[in-house]
Structures are given as C-alpha cells and as structure tokens.
Chains A and B, each alone.
Chain A
C-alpha cells in the first residue's frame, strides 16, 4: 500500500537531514525501538516492540539508509518480522526548506504487511503507518 505525506521539522534541511542519519536519534524516534545497532554502512539492526490498542508484538529487523543526497533526499528502508507477522516500509524522503527556517519532509513509498498481522484489517494498516510516521517526526522535532 502506498504511503505518502509530509511532515514539518523545525530545523533547516541540513540539520534535519543529519538528525535522520544519526542512529542514536533514530533509535529514539522510531516508535517502539528498543535497540538499533550499526551492522554496516548505513545499515542497522533493529529491535522494536509495537503496541497498538490490544495488539502487541516484537519485531527483529533492519534499517537501511541509501541514496544519500544531503540535504535534499535519501531513501529509508525499514523491515521487521516477528511472531505476529512481518512488515516493510520503503520510501524516499525529500527535504525542502520552508520560509520559517524549518524543513518540509515529503515522504513517498510503499508499506507491506504480512502474516497474521495482515488479519487486523486493511483499514488499520494505513492508519497505523500514518500514526507511526507522525510519532517519528514528532520525536525528531523535539531533538
């Protein structure tokens, strides 16, 4: 399913870009992230726990940051799998300066979900993805 939208960060693009490449900050901002460890160039292993309504599950996965074009754009791939299923998000983030000194981040990508988790219903996938993205940017903005 397609995931696209925009978010605002209260920093100029260069700083916004760097924040999103910083594993320590990423670990703080990725909702439910319990551990993020570098495994290679721009590649990290990820442990996260997702709790949403009554649903909860632990995921092991990885984060990859590729196609770097500082401070304009990069690609982020997050994937994880666990007992309740697996998920993958793959998208390009484009940063443009805003008049107020902040940055608008436009993201455009695909989200996939599989396994039992897919049984929660199609409507939940979109809403959940949006909420996780929103939280991610909210966390980043207070850095």
Chain B
C-alpha cells in the first residue's frame, strides 16, 4: 500500500509539446472529408454568379437526367426549413429572412440557389453545371458608404436605406471633453474586409436514421453544442436525438463560430433521401461564402489637452454587414465600441454605429472580432495626437495609461478592466529594443535620406467570453473529469479546440491536480453525445473559461478521492498530493490508481458517498479578462520600390499566468502573422457588381513564412483575479497588437514626408506613390 512520496515536478507552466501533434503531422487525424458512411451521397451547390438578381426560373431537367443524380432541391423545396439564425440582438435590428436556398432573388455572389445530390462528387459537379438558372440581374452595391448614399440600390427592397441598425453608446460627458480640448484630431480610418482562410475549408456529413428518428451530423465547427441546438430548431427535430460531432477541425479563426445554411441543408437532404450525404466546401466557395472579417469605415475624433492628456473620443462607425446576418454579424461592431478607449485613462466616449447591408457575403467574428478595429483606431489616433503635439509616441502613451492602482478600472464604455500594469509592458518592450538608441539611429538614418520607422502599439483586449449576460448564448463552460477504474483520467471539455492545444494544456492542469502522468490523461471534446453541453471555442475563452471549469471539477473529484483514501487508510484526515493520499499521523499512503479501483469495485463506500469517480462542473466567470501588451516594430521603406522591410519586431504580452509557454508562443506568433497580413497584404476586394476579385490565393495575399520577421517575444505576468488559474487568454492578442504597430511604424518612416495616415493594406504601390508624390 505505502510508497514514498517523491515531489513530482509541476507541469503547468512548462513548455510541453502538443499531445495532438503526432496525429496531425502523420496525416492520421480525421477531418470531415475523411468520413465515409455506407451509401453516402455527395452534394454540390449551385451558386449565384451575380451580386444581385431576381430568379426568373430554374430548370433542373438536364441535371436530373444525368445518371447517378439522386436528388435536386431548389428554394421551393426548403421553405419549411428554418432560415439561417442570427443570435445577436440590438434594438430595432432588421433581420432579413435568409433561407438556406434562395427564394426569388439572390443578394450576393455565391448565394446558394440549388443543390445537386449524386452518387459521387464528380457526377454531382457535372450535374450542377447542367442546372440552368435564369437571372434578371439588378444593380448591386458593395461599398458600405455608397450603400448609405441616397438613391443607392437596395440590397433588400423592403429597406431602401440599406440600414440594418443604428446603435448609440455614450459614457461620461463627451461635449465637455471636446469643449475643454486644446486639440481635436480627426481621422477616417478603415479596417478592410478580410478572408479568414482556415486551412481546412468547411464540410458536412449528415446521416439520418429514420427508424430511430436520429440525426448524426459531422461538421467543421467551433461550437458543436450551439450548432446542434440551432440546427435542431431549423430542422424541427429533437435535440437529444441529434448527435453533432466536430471531428478534427483544421482552423477556424471565427469563421466556424457560426451555423451556416449548408449545415441545415445537409440535414434536410439526408432526412429527405434517407441516405448519408457529404458536402465539402471548395476553396473558392470558402472565399466567397464563408463569413469574412472586419469591414469598417471609422470616423474618429479625439479631444486632448496640449500637454498630451486625452479627454474623450468620438466615433462614427460604419460596419459593412454584407447581405444578411450570420450568427453574430450585428454584434461585432458593438465589441469595437466597448474597446474604443484602449488602455487609456479618459472617461468620455461617444459612439454611433450604423450597420449597413451590402451585396457581399456577411462579415462576422474573425480573430479579434471588433477589438482589432478598435485597437487600430485608438492606436492610430494616439500616434496622430503625438505627431500633432510633437511628442514621442511612447511618452504620450505613458502619460495616458490607466495606472496599476486604478484596477479594477471601470471604463467609459461600461467594462471593468481586471488587472494590469500597462506601463510595465511598454517599458519592457522599449528596453528590449533599445528605444532611445533606436530614435538616435532613426535620426541618423533620416539624415542619410533613409526612411526608417518605429511603430508602437499598446493594446488591450477584452476576452474570455464571458459573463453570460454579455454573450448571446451563455458565457460559462463545462468540464467533466472521469477517473477510470485503473486510474487513467478522461477529461471532457465543453470547449471545442481546433488548433489551440487544450488536449495538452488541460492535461497539464489535470496532471498537476491529480498527480498522474500526462500520458494517463486524455482530453475529449466536440461530440454532443459524449460531452456535457458546452459553449465552444471563440473569444480567447478556452483556457480562461474552460480551464477554470476543469479546475473546479478536479477539486470536486479530489474531494471524493480523499474520502475514499480516508476510508481505505482508516485515517481521520488525509492529505492528497502528487497522486497519493497520506495519513499524516501514520505516514500510511495509498495511490490514486488504487483508490480508483476501490471506488468502482465498491466493496465498501465512505459515508454518504456513491461509487465511481466522476465530476462535472459548469463554471460561470464574473467578468471578462483583459490581456494587454506592447508591440514595437522597426521598419524601413525602400524609396525605389515602396517595399517595406521589417527590421525588428519586439512583443511584450501580458496574458496573465501561462499554462504552456510553447502554446502561448504559437498563438502569439500566428496572431502576429495574421495581424501583419491585415496591415500589409490581405484585402477582400469587391467590384461594383459584387464580384470578389481577390477570390483566390493568386490575388488574395496570405502571409507566408518567408515574409515573417523574427519576433523577439517576452512577457510580463499580471494574473487575472477573475479565475483561479489567473489566466487571461491569448488566442487573439497577437492579431490585435501587431496591426497598429506595423502601420504606425511605416507611417513613422514616412512622417518626414508629411504622411500622417495610410489605410491598410500598406501595399508597395501605395507606399511608392506616397514617396514619389512627396518627391514631386
């Protein structure tokens, strides 16, 4: 029974390689595309090539005649199926009814018009080519500002002003702030539309078992439980007979925080044809019909004193919503409003948001969702103020930061920043990069005619969604811990990791708490038949909300382990450490593995205790968590070509405690790459007719490894008081911090030419024109 207790090293905080990687890098993971069911049919969707058109007729005769075609459905067949759900609500929000197949008109390129089902994907594709749709093309509008202009084509005829909602938020006394101001800075700042481009496109396999009235649906999603609830409603079936599985999911970045027409459509088809059906989104469809991110035109006005003290910020935010609402479309810009003060200590804000319909695919949550837009805005405005007052951009930030003794800090937008030391991250980043010396180098470079820039971004982020009242579908998370009879441990999380690495980091938490080896722990997720209801993975919430749920479930199960230990050791009191229960009086010990066997064998039970070792916890956070950081980028612009070279990139991020710094680095690096993508290269460009002209990788420029700078990364650690792990969230931080640092750096490089602002992406030609124009 007894063994000597050796101190086991704690795993939380260690740089451990991911448990999920072997299957990913050996190609043995199971994605939706890998799933095959007996008799499975294949669906190909016929989509509108027009941005706006009325459907005069659809002729499916030729397509239906093709051998191997099992069914073709058009808009008239699906009128009883629930339309695509918008989970967000705002006062007066106009919600277009978006059927899963178009009815009498189409309103964006890619709008699904018909679906062809056949015995293989090739026949389905051939048949889809044979479906003849007669369109009466009408005028489209794709630019949100043009859509707001009088006389613009109406995306939805019933709302000729193209306005989906108006939203106003104010805090403090904005009029007084502007009346007291010595300086007012005004700037129009855009955040262009971006294509999320997960490595795995979307895909669905649906299988209906008529005898059981049971539906199984595999889909590449970030929110398996929410998707099941919504799809069950759309399809009119019982949630408990509906098993939704998110198998391996190859990235999402918010694009799979959604419930799409195709998911309901495949459910509808399998129920109709009584055979399993598969649909795999092509890359081109992914560009055209999966949600896109950003899409802001922002008009900022910043009021400040001549000494650099910021007093208040006004914002008119024009959000390009696209043609209809996906799950959270209208809610995203409201997150921008929440974060518009950034890290700064002013208490007066005023925001007017207008949500605009355009003939484009909807925008929705994309890594950062609303916060990158806000952060880019405020960080640009701070730099503009510094330029206006001839102050150093670092100095003006130090002057305005919320101070460490002000936490919890209530913002003008109604948030309560949990903890932080904003000056410390900036100072650390400046020390790492040698800021004062850099400014001297810059002066020398300028004297030599070189265009060198230093760009700072000090970002704050609102994440770990979140308290339930602040989220559309509950903001808690669930976890179950099952200690099996041999002492092996199975963890169920309601989150749905798809690259974030919780199979590893959650195992680290469980290993430390239970004192069992990492290898004895498995973390399961993404199957509604196995996992208790959960909310899913988005908004940097896995670790900060799912982690505490697991932590508390582990505390519960430890209590039960101790009860068994006490009984088995015949002790009055026991300690539990490193997987061993110990009677401090006698020194007798018993391992968790032995206890587990006894708990299931149940020859004897402690008083008021049931057999087995399972604990489930649903945990609700009391607040968001607020990571922050400082990114500094040194760049140099080539006068001849407009090319931008990133010379140095220093990032100091404070994400609270870190469970696994290797995973943290991965999230920050990937995030930074995505943020640089927005700053320098990426843009979803539509022509006036609604054609996405950057609809493939030949024209849509994704960041490549060879374009990435070396990131010198460091951290400060301010634990969050909101959760017992002291973690904040890191999924989106890099994306939010990097973009303004890059843009500020290039604008700093060009500031000697009189350049104060450039809209993203900072393409070579745009930069060359500025340099060239300045020369002329």
Contact = CB atoms under 8 A, between A and B. Distances in A.
Whether chain A touches chain B in the assembled complex (some CB pair under 8 Å): yes
Interface of A: 1, 83, 85-86, 112-116, 118-119, 121-123
Interface of B: 49-50, 109, 129, 284, 687, 689, 691-696, 698-699
A114 B50 CA distance: 7
3 tightest A-B contacts by CB?
Answer: A115-B49, A121-B698, A122-B699
B687 A112 contact: yes
Contacts of A118: 691-693, 695
Which label, helix, strand, loop or mixed, suits the secondary structure of the B interface?
A: loop
Interface centre among A86, A116, A123 (most CB of B within 10 A): A86
A92 to B, nearest CB: 19
Contacts of B691: 112-114, 118
A139 B694 CA distance: 34
Given A83-B129, A123-B699, 17 more contacts: A1-B687, A112-B689, A112-B691, A114-B49, A114-B50, A114-B109, A114-B689, A115-B49, A116-B49, A118-B693, A119-B284, A119-B695, A121-B696, A121-B698, A121-B699, A122-B693, A122-B699
Nearest to B109: A114
Contacts of A113: 691
Query: Is chain A's binding surface mostly helix, strand, loop or mixed?
Result: mixed
A95 B694 CA distance: 35
Contacts of A122: 693-694, 698-699
Contacts of B694: 122
Given A85-B49, A86-B49, A119 B696 contact: yes
Contacts of B49: 85-86, 114-116
A114 B288 CA distance: 13
A83 B699 CA distance: 23
Contacts of A85: 49
A23 B694 CA distance: 37
A85 B693 CA distance: 14
Nearest to B284: A119
A131 B695 CA distance: 23
Contacts of A115: 49
21 contacts: A83-B129, A85-B49, A86-B49, A112-B689, A114-B49, A114-B109, A114-B691, A115-B49, A116-B49, A116-B284, A118-B692, A118-B693, A118-B695, A119-B696, A121-B698, A121-B699, A122-B693, A122-B698, A122-B699, A123-B698, A123-B699
Nearest to A110: B688
Contacts of A112: 687, 689, 691
Contacts of B693: 118, 122
Contacts of B692: 118
B154 to A, nearest CB: 21
A86 B690 CA distance: 13
B479 to A, nearest CB: 45
Contacts of B689: 112, 114
B533 to A, nearest CB: 41
Contacts of A83: 129
Nearest to A120: B698
A1 B687 CA distance: 8
Most buried by B among A1, A86, A112, A114: A114
B114 to A, nearest CB: 16
